[in-house]
A and B are shown apart, each in its own frame.
Chain A
């Protein structure tokens, strides 16, 4: 029984002909984050520390939809949310409506560890971040050139913005207007240490005033003593299907293996709406998705590791 880690940079309609100049930096980020997580696990850090560390790195990367690089709201602003869960204690921390906090996942952790609450949002969360001395930056920090361009394109096409980089205008059969959040939204990480302790973290950028699945425990994030799960995709689908909790529930109540549980949960959600990464206390890993692709990476102690998109 060894450690294991899996992470994602979002599931969705990632075109298989994604040009190299868009693909390479994302793969490089996945590689870098994976290495970071693996090194931390090898050094004996707790899974909670590891998932936070990796999620921070993903948030800092402008290529994925979380922290810097978050999809812009129609006002051209950024609003972020995140959640973290410790499988051993089942402690959790969630935040929504952040506009200046550089690392939402870290604020979620502070909510978990330093308040009697689980979930803080909007002004209250922003105020708390300042009280706690977390790093905050002006909105412009989070906004990348690429996302300004995408927002312009989206407005011209009168569609909600999609976060995969396409140099050409958005295709007709692209995500219909009702997709509130980016299909390639969200980053996440799950990890288990050698002792079987589990943790999960998920973080994303969001449209204004909306809360998605990411900060909802049981939907986008879940961890207990059996497994840790982080989901990505269409928020509504993840919430009503309680995706993250269901993987664990199938294992716990129906005795399914991680692979079977994860596959069943994905299969039961409408096609094209969801992906997830999960690990168990025994070091099993699963990364199923029913979308075109999911930016993902995983590694286990016996040496196997993988970085993939489709």
Chain B
């Protein structure tokens, strides 16, 4: 019997000055979700069931940028996307442009399981959601006060802004330029100082006790994005990938992840160059990201787990059958 393993993430690229309290909150959430996955694996649930379960949990919590708590579009609304892939036969499902579906990852799963298609988006995806009877809510459900404030900041700065999770007191009188809030401008992510960039996307990868791998990724996308902007999370081969060897979920600068087909490349170097999981992950993050910043989590069919990022930190957690369990933010 194969050994199970699981890894989760809550996004890559973290402000080094993130308040302690926030860090603790994040680690608690990661631990909770990781435990949910571990319990499911111990109960012999399949990899694809486990990744869906765990990502649903991450989507439901407003802390990270997916489902509730998603970043806002320039219009102040939420548009979510997600993808899921089952390493057995590489079946996959993806969705984009969701505005009412409570758990995007579950709709992606239905696309995979119940439609002849791989990827549904916007009106077509919403219609499919109704046909399938998934839980839908008003768009306002996904919008948090904090993100409304964030969007205002972003518009004032007139740049694309990722979630800025540092408390707004003082910042909501923001005639102060965004720059003055930034103690350290040397660290950047997607062109923004790290303290106004905050990670986006959640994901989970699992290898179950039968050696099958699966991956899922979910996000609300970039703060202040143009409506209709699609990132790497729903793109098979970029944000998500799973095959019989491994499963990967990525996070970070979406454009860099797409250009480098990051998730697929981890599997490709294992397959075509014979690298093991850690070697593959190291190689891809080091050699394939060019100037882009991103992170990924990965598992192999042998029960190995690997996390790597070239950004400043990545919210993550990993656990393996032999008892190892850890959550972290920094290197």
Contact = CB atoms under 8 A, between A and B. Distances in A.
B228 A216 contact: no
Nearest to A253: B272
A217 B238 contact: yes
B261 A222 contact: yes
Interface stretch (A1-9, A24-32, A61-69, A244-252): A244-252
Give the dominant DSSP class at B's interface.
mixed
Contact of B228 (A120, A178, A218): A120
Contact of B119 (A91, A217, A239): A239
B117 A120 contact: no
Contacts of B127: 209
B265 interface: yes
A239 B118 contact: yes
Interface stretch (A10-18, A123-131, A146-154): A123-131
A124 B227 CA distance: 5
A118 B254 contact: yes
Contacts, number: 149
Counting contact residues on chain B (CB < 8 A from A), the size range is 35 or more
Given A178-B116, A222-B261, A119 B237 contact: no
Counting contact residues on chain A (CB < 8 A from B), the size range is 35 or more
Interface string A92-106: 101011000000000
Contacts of A120: 226, 228-230
A198 to B, nearest CB: 14
Contacts of B121: 96-97, 121-122, 209-211
A121 B259 contact: no
A228 interface: no
A90 B265 contact: no
Interface in B215-239: 225-231, 235-238
A219 B96 contact: no
Given A96-B121, A97-B121, A239-B92, A218 B230 contact: no
Contacts of B244: none
A97 B122 contact: yes
Interface of B: 85, 90-92, 94, 96-97, 116-125, 127-128, 160, 190-191, 225-231, 235-238, 241, 254-255, 258-261, 264-265, 268-269, 271-273, 290
Given A235-B118, A241-B90, 16 more contacts: A96-B121, A97-B121, A119-B230, A122-B121, A123-B228, A127-B227, A178-B116, A209-B128, A210-B117, A217-B238, A219-B236, A239-B118, A239-B236, A242-B261, A249-B272, A254-B273
Interface of A: 90-92, 94, 96-97, 115-125, 127-128, 177-180, 208-212, 216-219, 222, 235-236, 239-242, 245-246, 249-250, 253-254
